[in-house]
């Protein structure tokens, strides 16, 4: 078992969860500590109230730290929200005459150039995923990495993911006010995919759909490459609100009904079953037909899945998803959602839980074997991989290590050049930091991450 301790922080719309983990047996992750609290100050995956979000983060982190018996000062954070956008990009570089063959620095230079792409004001690049490489206008197959090929011009197609600078700064501020530093950021559907997919899924072609509280995140893979990412601003909270308004009940009652008695298929529930809802104060109990509840859930869930189906078709990979659709996130626990998804997408569907990647002796194992924790566990897995890359390369950055074998579908976040975007600086108040462990002065990977975030988030903040 490895000794590197990684902390993943999932800042969701309905919950904030913190996971402390190490590498376990058979490449799995062993969770040492787990903390969860109700999310406050977050809406549709975006931090709206920094103070409230920071307090919720601190509660979740303190619970996980106490359980794992460790001090926590750095976290890997998931990024989502309806401000996330994606777009195609293309670039090329000339190979210098002194390079007889294409070298890794040429590939890194080509990818790095993408971070200088002109964006709309207020946008920042989060990830750049290489799709296809060309040498002298001849495409390379996935089995042939560009490093080592002879040529004069290297070109590539990319999938670029961007986010709103202000929203990214608010996340950084909330984490900072909680007394923590950001080790790295990961697009949440990418993190979730780490927890519920394997190489065979990504190779065959799969659409991973993470239905959370505020957003539905979609990541499409083919030939082990992430081909498309989309964030939809509809998810579980919309279903709960529909039940609340349709049945004229409290929000907590609506959420409870959805989880305990809800179904995505009207025809799958008994005709005359009735649920009795306690009245408020002296009011008489209210009776709701299970079939009525199913009709409300079906209407909204169908709308969400139809948008998912549209995104899949728009990507052009709808006929290439041999591994089908994988549903994960809290919304995946809805009864009969798998069947409804198969009816709408006409594609094989399964529910994704992190069972293949989680050590059985992890703390709270039975509770963690749930789709809603896919993102948090995926963040720990991602962080572990980056730490192991650093060790294998003798201190080289994870970016260089990740590209040494060809296209890396999980682009990391260290040493990225800043994008050309305009944003207003957010003033950060001084915060008392918790007690920190002594760090290795030669931790070059950590310093690279720190430099990256100073560039992306802190211009004008710490001055």
- The 3-state secondary structure of 252-270, one letter per residue: HHHHHHHHHHCCCCHHHCC
pLDDT top residue among 440 and 219: 219
Q: Is the per-residue pLDDT at 408 higher than 60?
A: no
Domain check: are 249 and 321 in the same one? Answer: yes
171 falls within a domain? yes
User: pLDDT, tens digit, for every residue of 264-315?
Assistant: 999 999 888 999 888 787 788 888 999 999 999 999 999 999 999 999 999 9
Q: For 154-160, what is the mean pLDDT? A: 95
Tell me what the pLDDT averaged over the chain comes to: 84
Domain check: are 191 and 211 in the same one? Answer: no
Residue 409: pLDDT band with limits 50, 70, 90: very low
Whole-angstrom Cα distance, residue 41 to residue 47?
6
Cα–chain center distance at 428: 26
Residue 257: pLDDT band with limits 50, 70, 90: very high
Give whole-number Cα distances, 95 to 101, 112, 391, in Å.
8, 15, 30
Q: Whole-model pTM?
A: 0.79
454 falls within a domain? yes
Closest alpha carbon to 153 in 106, 113, 94, 201: 94
| Segment holding 58, helix H or strand E | helix 50-68
Domain end: 318, 353, 388, which one?
A: 353
**Residue 95 confidence (pLDDT):** 94
Q: Is the per-residue pLDDT at 457 higher than 80?
A: no
Closest alpha carbon to 192 in 341, 327, 81, 39: 327
In 3-state terms, what secondary structure has residue 210? strand
Residue 2: pLDDT band with limits 50, 70, 90: low
224: containing domain = 199-353
> How many residues can be counted in the chain?
463
Which residues lie below 8 Å from residue 207, measured CB to CB, with a gap of 6+?
218, 219, 220, 221, 308, 312, 317, 321, 324, 325, 326, 347
User: pLDDT, tens digit, for every residue of 172-208?
Assistant: 999 999 999 999 888 999 999 999 999 999 999 999 9
Domain check: are 270 and 216 in the same one? Answer: yes
**Residue 394 confidence (pLDDT):** 57
28 falls within a domain? yes
In 3-state terms, what secondary structure has residue 360? coil
Domain end: 329, 353, 377, which one?
A: 353
**Residue 93 confidence (pLDDT):** 94
**Residue 286 confidence (pLDDT):** 85
User: pLDDT, tens digit, for every residue of 417-443?
Assistant: 333 333 333 344 333 344 444 444 444
Domain check: are 340 and 360 in the same one? Answer: no
**Residue 118 confidence (pLDDT):** 85
Domain check: are 341 and 427 in the same one? Answer: no
Burial class (CB in 10 A: 0-12, 13-18, 19+), 103: middle
Structural domains in the chain (count):
2
Q: For 256-271, what is the mean pLDDT? A: 92
pLDDT top residue among 3 and 419: 3
> Token match 């990225």: residue?
416
Domain check: are 323 and 441 in the same one? Answer: no
Domain check: are 233 and 308 in the same one? Answer: yes
Closest alpha carbon to 49 in 58, 41, 39: 41
Q: Is the per-residue pLDDT at 446 higher than 70?
A: no
340 and 157 Cβ atoms separated by less than 8 Å:
no
Instruction: Report the CATH number that the domain containing residue 424 is assigned in CATH.
Output: 3.30.420.40
């Amino acid at each position: 078992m490895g000794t590197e301790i990684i902390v993943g922080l999932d800042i969701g719309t309905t919950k904030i969860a913190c996971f402390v983990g190490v590498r376990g047996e058979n490449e799995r992750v062993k969770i040492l500590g787990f903390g969860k609290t109700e999310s406050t100050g977050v809406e549709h995956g975006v931090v709206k109230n920094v103070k409230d979000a920071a307090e919720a983060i601190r509660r979740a982190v303190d619970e996980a730290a106490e359980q794992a018996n460790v001090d926590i000062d750095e976290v890997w954070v998931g990024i989502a929200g309806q401000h996330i956008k994606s777009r195609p990009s293309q670039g090329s570089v000339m190979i210098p005459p002194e390079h007889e063959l294409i070298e890794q620095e040429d590939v890194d230079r080509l990818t790095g150039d993408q971070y200088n792409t002109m964006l709309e004001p207020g946008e920042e690049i989060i990830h750049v995923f290489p799709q296809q490489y060309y040498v002298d206008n001849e495409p390379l197959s996935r089995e042939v990495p560009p490093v080592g090929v002879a040529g004069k011009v290297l070109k590539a197609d990319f999938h670029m993911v961007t986010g709103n600078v202000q929203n990214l700064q608010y996340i950084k501020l909330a984490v900072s006010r909680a007394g923590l530093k950001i080790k790295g950021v990961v697009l949440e559907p990418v993190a979730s995919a780490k927890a519920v997919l394997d190489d065979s899924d990504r190779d065959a072609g799969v659409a991973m759909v993470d239905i959370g509280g505020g957003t539905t995140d979609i990541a499409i893979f083919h030939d082990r490459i992430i081909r498309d990412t989309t964030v939809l601003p509809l998810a579980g909270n919309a279903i709960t609100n529909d039940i609340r308004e349709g049945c004229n009940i409290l929000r907590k009652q609506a959420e409870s009904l959805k989880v305990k008695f809800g179904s995505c298929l009207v025809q799958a529930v008994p005709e005359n079953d009735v649920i009795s809802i306690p009245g408020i104060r002296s009011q008489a109990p209210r009776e709701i037909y299970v079939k009525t509840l199913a009709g409300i859930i079906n209407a909204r869930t169908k709308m969400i899945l139809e948008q998912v189906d549209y995104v899949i078709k728009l990507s052009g990979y709808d006929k290439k998803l041999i591994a089908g659709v994988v549903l994960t996130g809290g919304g995946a626990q809805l009864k009969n959602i798998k069947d409804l998804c198969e009816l709408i997408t006409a594609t094989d569907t399964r529910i994704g839980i992190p069972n293949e990647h989680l050590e059985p002796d992890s703390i709270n194992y039975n509770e963690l074997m749930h789709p809603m924790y896919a993102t948090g566990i995926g963040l720990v897995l991602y962080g572990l991989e980056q730490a192991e890359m650093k060790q294998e390369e003798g201190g080289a950055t994870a970016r260089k290590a990740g590209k040494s074998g060809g296209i890396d579908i999980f682009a990391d976040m260290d040493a990225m050049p800043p994008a050309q975007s305009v944003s207003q600086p957010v003033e950060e108040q001084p915060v008392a930091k918790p007690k920190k462990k002594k760090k290795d002065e030669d931790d070059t990977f950590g310093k690279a991450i720190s430099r990256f975030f100073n560039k992306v988030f802190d211009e004008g903040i710490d001055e």
